[in-house]
Amino acid sequence: MEKPLTQHITPDRKPLSLKEYEQVGGYQAVHKILKELTPEGVTNLVKESNLRGRGGAGFNTGLKWSFVPMGPDVPRPKYLVANADEMEPGTFKDRILLEGNPHQLIEGMIVASYAIQADISYVFLRWAYKKAAQEITKAITEAYAAGYLGQNILGSGYSLEMHLHTGVGRYMCGEETALLNALEGKRATPRAKPPFPQVSGLFGKPTIVNNVETLCCLPHIVNNGAAWFKGLSRTGDAGTKIYGVSGKVNKPGAWELPMGVTVRELIEEHAGGMKNGYRFKGALPGGASTDFLVEEHLNTPMDYPSIAAAGSRMGTGTMIILDDHTCPVGFVHNLQHFFAQESCGFCTPCREGLPWVEKILLSLDRGEGKPEDMQLLNFHTKALGPGNTFCALAPGAMEPLQSALKYFGEDFERHIHEKQCPWK
């Protein structure tokens, strides 16, 4: 089984130096695109590979790039931004790539920047990733010294700046336009679309924002081809994926596996199954802002269309397990507390609705719930759903709640009738 993204990451995550990275084929993709491919050729290659964004939305990467205006008359500078602000609860896949092989990310960013003819690139990094910041800074310095960044890269006539920007810890920056506002030094609130960032992004110039894992796939696609990348997968979604599992399993962690591995295989084979004395009750398949999957979904492939057909979202592919010893109400309340704190406050449904949901769940957890609370919670899953808020934060927050009410409604009712949490 090929593991292109993690094959050179050691258990201690000591990253390769630039020279060591070159010795295992590093930066060959940069040589290839600058000597053999046009920007349009790179975009078409990535489009053909069916690489879908690994940050959660799953949009075709090459298609996203194709919306960037090209030619001598477009506004300059253009920007490429790596979204390394990994703030989704339960998600730690990008951290492995950032700490374990930063040159792979830099090479991927150069490929993406060349494809859209970006002049300046940024790594927008989560504030808590201190080790990653050190390793990325060192790798960028090495890349400049070797001529992979800066003016006239490898004598090609193409030039690219790269900078590290550390955020201040806002979940909202996972939304690409809020990230761009933060990068401009503004409050991290989402922007109205259109115009989309591909046309008017950072400082009003054409901009692409891609996830770290997405960008790390690019050197391997350039070196090995679209057909090879598709062949890594078990399903129609191409490539490998870094999946993760957290919760009461024997071996929580993250693994690079073929796209389409089933939920059951991920939990039982790679995460070692549930701990003794604990039974599987449900799982959020792609981080905190996805709907629960339950036992009937264990044989579902972990790819975008299959998870959607099961009523959830692939998201980041990093699973949070709910076990039979953990109260579903307390579990969901913990998530809603996080989302309420992280709301940017820009639109009323999110700003007012999420704290209200949190208070209702807290009262249920304390045994103070009322029968009408169930109706209120169901109302909020609709009122804060898609199309009613300015961005996807609140709709995402409603996904674990609406699915918990669907699958674990009896547990919510017990809190009301027994006037206490049955798990305490």
Sign of CA dihedral 220, 226, 227, 229: positive
- How far apart CA 253 and CA 242 sit, in angstroms, is 10
Mean per-residue pLDDT of the chain:
96
With bands split at pLDDT 50, 70 and 90, how would you rate the model's confidence at 154?
very high
Each residue of 319-329: pLDDT tens digit?
Answer: 999 999 999 99
Each residue of 278-290: pLDDT tens digit?
Answer: 999 999 999 999 9
Overall domain count for the chain: 3
Cα 402 to chain centroid distance, Å, stands at 22
DSSP 149-207: SBSSGGGSS--BEEEEEE--S-GGGGSHHHHHHHHTTS---PPPSSSPTTTS-GGGS-E
With bands split at pLDDT 50, 70 and 90, how would you rate the model's confidence at 57?
confident
Q: CA-based diameter of the chain, in Å?
A: 74
5: in domain: no
Q: Is the peptide bond before 197 cis (omega within 30 degrees of 0)?
A: no
Final residue of a domain: which of 206, 231, 256? Answer: 231
Same domain, 179 and 268: no
Using the predicted structure, report yes or no on whether residue 207 has a pLDDT greater than 90.
yes
Same domain, 290 and 341: no
Final residue of a domain: which of 323, 338, 366? Answer: 323
3: in domain: no
Using the predicted structure, report yes or no on whether residue 168 has a pLDDT greater than 90.
no
Q: What is the pTM of this model?
A: 0.95
Same domain, 188 and 124: yes
Each residue of 264-308: pLDDT tens digit?
Answer: 999 999 999 999 999 999 999 999 999 999 999 999 999 999 999
The CATH number assigned to the domain holding 346 equals: 1.20.1440.230
Same domain, 312 and 223: no
Using the predicted structure, report yes or no on whether residue 214 has a pLDDT greater than 80.
yes
Q: Which residues in 136-147 are b (16+ Cβ under 10 Å) and which e?
A: beebbebbeebe
Same domain, 281 and 362: no
Average confidence (pLDDT) over 411-417: 96
With bands split at pLDDT 50, 70 and 90, how would you rate the model's confidence at 1?
confident
